[in-house]
Structure 1
């Protein structure tokens, strides 16, 4: 039978990251292409204890349908935390639980954008959300990144010249894929431009809890005076990626439409993971757990940076992240990045080509992404030695 694929999906291709990730299932491949939290970061014993307690004390709630907005005790705790710790909650805001922050981004775009509308994003940016936007037939316009975040001059130029701009998608902390953090000055500038040109900001912060160097910076949402910022958070990097528990905080009017869209997708986020997440936030060991993850990633990132300095051609540029899971390497001119990535895989090291993260699917890049959370320290050492053997023009 010949199948007629919908126009929405016919032009979409499988995520390059997910395809490369398949290679990392081979234990002989060093998984610099992965994006998973470190296996040792999962609080397995705590999850086991909380699961047993929930199923003993409140099994019906854990196993039954829930409301689309999410488990109320978890929503209450998250709202209090976002206000008390970060000053992010306005009286007109609401908070809902979503099945991972990526779903929150997709629901926000569904609520705010029509087919053919334009979403501005950092270039490069997270492929999962970019593909979610593409599936809605939204036009993407990438804004170049600088060492301290999005290029605000190019951002304003796009706001002046691009048609039907509805939304800016931004990852201010330890950005995926580059590891770059947006400076305080640029956070203020982004919000000021959003007000000036009357667009919404979608602030995605999956890595914010993973700072292991430098000082915390205020969320863009904390600057929100007129209800134009939607903030996305997640438990994926601090509790469990597989549980798929995230949350969205933003103006109630928009979140109500996101709830309607979610009802058509998955009815609600699974109840048992939400209940585990609620107990996790109340756990006496919560802060110590975060500190242990930060210490782990500080160590692993340090190992990767040391390996790059020792093994790489000095003409290869790289970022120095203050947190998160990734760093970004750029080959000198006249080097073929895709050939480099193919050679790396042939040597048993999987890295992600930079073209996977571009807003323009036909764009060019000399960069590639490295992940330091998934591989062991031994793999980091060996993998960088192997990459250092690849000739650079």
Structure 2
């Protein structure tokens, strides 16, 4: 069962001015006429004759049928008109049948309170939605609130714009609201002293089974964070790729489900729970912002893969929402078992060498190494020589150049025996590194 309840938040006194969040470049985007024609003609009456679109003739495609067989024994076949649509150009917002399905599914799962002002767009995985949204809002040198540590793919999107990242610390329950307020107040003082400095407009947060920490923000803390963002007029970028991989008994309440004002852009993904190669993601948020993302997609790659969208829509059709959620739950349980095996291996090999918290979901455990101030060379040079690979914590920090004593371990693909061996080798690396540091210290003295 899902947690329920919307925040006891005072509703916005006036509609949000979304132009505040859209940068000058994005505000100049205009619809492509041929793309708009594709959208209009897709659902036009069959008797409509179109010589307007630059679409190839379906008859030239070499595919007769595509059969899809699922592991539970259910199957379906793409053929005829449905196959033609699965191989043809689409409206930029997405394959209309899947778009309808995802809207219904999002409403079913999250019950967003501001639904009538909300829209959905299909993207090439959630990473695509995240990058398009950041690029819509970001301005060179601007301040951006980010959880620290943060998903490295987000930092890569932001970096070319040379933003000032304002890191918000996390504890075992995720982002700390008090630190968010303190950071905003300190920045507000800078803005008062120097009118050329602007307040941050965005807060990037990975609230469920966060990458890399594995933490999930509880609902009471989410309500607190949401109210802070309302008070300071901040757009919440809710990157929730691991939402369906939370190991707790009840699914978390999303920021979208708390969003009475319309200030959440939510990024969902099927990469972790269906298939990563399908590149299936979607963004849910205020209609004006979704429309601007659509204009960016028009100019970037026209639309997400037609075939992937058709395959996904048919799985929803064959299974229905409840069976789809059952499948997600089985995937979550699969990773929960792997997490437990990984924690057991760490207790065998890393006790006394490292500290860690048990991740509440996802695919990663975040490990703090004792008495080794910087793990980068240890992992990237000596670790690879031992034929073991972990991600150094620097990859996930707001300042990746600074020394970091954290390690991210992914338990998603390696076998239990390999995980155990990897933790044993990590313990060897740490002991060797500690000895090396002691020798350096003795020589210095």
Structure 2 gap segments, 5+ residues each: 1-67, 188-197, 435-445
Give, in whole Å, the separation in 2 of the partners of 1:133 and 1:79: 29
SS in 2 for 1:265: helix
Alignment-derived partner of residue 118 in structure 1: 143
Distance between the aligned counterparts of 1:315 and 1:387, measured in 2? Answer: 10
Query: Equivalent of 2:428, from 385, 389, 392?
Result: 389
2:348 equivalent in structure 1: 310
Aligned pair count reads: 350
Pair 1:158-2:193 in alignment: no
1:329-373 deviations in Å (ceiling 9; x for gaps): 001244431233133222111000000111223233110100011
Match of 2:117 among 71, 92, 100: 92
- 2:71 and 2:289 map into 1 onto residues whose CA distance is 33
Map 1:266-345 onto structure 2 (within 5 A).
Answer: 266-284=301-319, 285-341=323-379, 342-345=381-384
1:256 aligns with 2:291: yes
* Structure 2: distance between partners of 1:202 and 1:301: 27
| Partner deviation per Cα, 1:247-279 (whole Å, 9 max, x = no partner) | 000000111111111112111101110111112
**Greater CA deviation, 367-376 or 204-213?**
204-213
Name the CA distance, whole Å, in 2 between partners of 1:338 and 1:321: 23
The change in CA–CA distance for 1:390 and 1:77 in structure 2 (over 3 A counts) is same
CA distance in 1, matches of 2:300, 2:229: 29
| 2-structure distance, mates of 1:135, 1:98 | 22
Q: Which moved more, 1:339-348 or 1:118-127?
A: 339-348
Deviation at 1:159, TM superposition (A): 1.8
Shift of the alpha carbon at 1:138? Answer: 3.4
C-alpha distance after superposition, 1:170-229 (max 9, x if no partner): 000000011111122221111011001001000011011112334322001111111101
Q: CA deviation at 1:85?
A: 2.0
1:76 is aligned, of 82, 95, 100, to: 100
Residue 157 of structure 1, CA deviation: 2.1
Is the 8 Å Cα contact of residues 330 and 366 (structure 1) preserved in structure 2? yes
- Contact 2:394 2:404 survives alignment (8 Å): yes
Residue 246 of structure 1 is matched in structure 2 by 281
Using structure 1 for the length normalisation, give the TM-score. Answer: 0.84
Structure-2 separation of matches of 1:255 and 1:115: 22
Classify the secondary structure of the residue corresponding to 2:337: helix
Q: TM-score, normalised by structure 2?
A: 0.74
Kindly indicate whether residue 223 of structure 2 is the aligned counterpart of residue 184 of structure 1: no
Contact 1:177–1:327 under 8 Å retained in 2: yes
Unaligned runs of 5+ in 1: 1-43
| Residues in 1 aligned to 2:301 and 2:71: alpha-carbon distance in whole angstroms | 24
CA distance in 2, matches of 1:297, 1:197: 38
Secondary structure of the residue aligned to 2:77 is helix
- Classify 1:380/1:311 alpha carbon distance in 2 versus 1 (closer, same or farther; 3 Å): same
Report how far residue 292 of structure 1 moved: 2.6
State which of 413, 433, 443 in structure 2 corresponds to 1:374: 413
Q: Tell me the distance in 1 between the aligned counterparts of 2:70 and 2:80.
A: 15
Partner of 2:5: none
